[in-house]
């Protein structure tokens, strides 16, 4: 009589664990193509940092996403030239090059007004900058799209006048494939078109306006109040996955810092004593006695 062998029972598969909050954020970031914090090489930055906690913490991923399109424009008297936007990009790229020691940056411009001697003041080494001058807006867009295919570049900057939704999508897709950030400066167009940038559709991940702001005076007795450090108004008017915001920043030796007040505060208001709030019972007693 043969003895029946018992069929071995395979161990049951463990029950699926609920997805954690960090894993859920990563999955949402993959779907929305936003920067994922905490992934990859921890020593390699995942975004272009402003060096200001107020701005970096407000943005998804702690800064400007690398493989994405970002658009910058001037404001006020700097609307057509966008010189402050160019200075801001030079400083952002300079911070990026400190980590990418063997890479360069391509700057596509349509005018010969990029002053190389001023770049080191913004932290950008001119020896690591490739400047390409083109005549037409279409040539600038073509050069930007071709340059974004080169993964060895740290960033690609382009001065562009007209940029429609289709063209911005092509730049955004090229940046996503290579991981190289595409930084666009809107200049060279008509003043009316530049003022209407906020109403023009774009595939850019973030859109910025940077303009001058009144600097805070510095008291230097016995002299009158002297002009303070240059003050900028940085406005984020569109951010995919984030909220618009505005900051007032000023320059100092190590970069930027938040400006305390855009205007000098009058002495009676600045030096007044802060009295503790009155108790409701004391208020009722004063009303009854009055």
Whether 283 is in a domain gets the answer no
Beta-strand ranges (E) seen in the chain are 47-48, 64-65, 69-74, 104-109, 129-133, 153-160, 182-186, 206-213, 218-220, 223-226, 231-239, 245-252, 255-258
Whether 26 is in a domain gets the answer no
Reported as a pLDDT band with limits 50, 70 and 90, residue 27 is low
Enumerate helices (H) and strands (E) in the chain, giving the number of each.
8, 13
How much of the chain is helix, strand and coil, in % rounded to 5?
A: 30, 25, 45
State the burial class of residue 90 (Cβ atoms within 10 Å of its Cβ: 0-12, 13-18, 19+).
buried
pTM, rounded to two decimals: 0.73
Q: What percent of the chain has pLDDT over 70?
A: 69
Q: Give the tens place of pLDDT for each residue, 259-280.
A: 765 454 555 544 454 555 566 6
Whether 189 is in a domain gets the answer yes
Reported as a pLDDT band with limits 50, 70 and 90, residue 114 is confident
**158 CB-side CA count, 13 A:** 28
Where residue 119 sits, what CATH number does that domain have? 3.40.50.300
Whether 282 is in a domain gets the answer no
Whether 55 is in a domain gets the answer no
Whether 104 is in a domain gets the answer yes
Whether 8 is in a domain gets the answer no
Q: Give the tens place of pLDDT for each residue, 126-166.
A: 899 999 999 999 999 999 999 999 999 999 999 998 899 99
3-state secondary structure of 277: coil
Number of domains the chain is built from: 1
Range of the domain at 105: 66-261
State residue 80's pLDDT score: 83
Whether 76 is in a domain gets the answer yes
């Amino acid at each position: 009589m043969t003895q029946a062998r018992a069929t071995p029972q395979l161990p049951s598969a463990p029950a699926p664990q609920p997805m954690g909050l960090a894993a859920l954020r990563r999955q949402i970031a993959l779907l929305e193509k936003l920067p994922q914090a905490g992934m990859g090489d921890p020593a390699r930055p995942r975004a272009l940092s402003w060096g200001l906690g107020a701005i970096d913490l407000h943005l998804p991923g702690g800064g400007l996403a690398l493989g994405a399109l970002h658009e910058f424009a001037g404001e006020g008297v700097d609307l057509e030239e966008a010189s402050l936007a160019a200075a801001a990009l030079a400083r952002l790229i300079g911070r990026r090059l400190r980590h990418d020691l063997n890479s360069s940056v391509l700057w596509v411009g349509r005018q010969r007004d990029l002053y190389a001697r001023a770049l080191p003041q913004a932290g950008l080494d001119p020896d690591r900058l490739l400047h390409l001058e083109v005549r037409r807006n279409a040539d600038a867009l073509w050069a930007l799209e071709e340059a974004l295919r080169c993964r060895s570049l740290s960033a690609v900057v382009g001065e562009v006048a007209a940029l429609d939704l289709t063209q911005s999508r092509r730049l955004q897709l090229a940046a996503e494939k290579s991981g190289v950030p595409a930084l666009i400066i809107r200049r060279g167009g008509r003043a009316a078109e530049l003022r209407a940038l906020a109403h023009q559709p774009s595939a850019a991940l973030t859109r910025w306006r940077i303009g001058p702001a009144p600097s805070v005076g510095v008291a230097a007795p016995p002299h009158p109040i002297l002009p303070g450090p240059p003050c900028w108004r940085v406005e984020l008017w569109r951010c995919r996955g984030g909220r618009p915001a505005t900051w007032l920043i000023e320059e100092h030796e190590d970069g930027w810092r938040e400006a305390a007040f855009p205007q000098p505060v009058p002495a009676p208001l600045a030096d007044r004593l802060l009295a503790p709030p009155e108790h409701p019972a004391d208020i009722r007693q004063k009303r009854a006695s009055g």
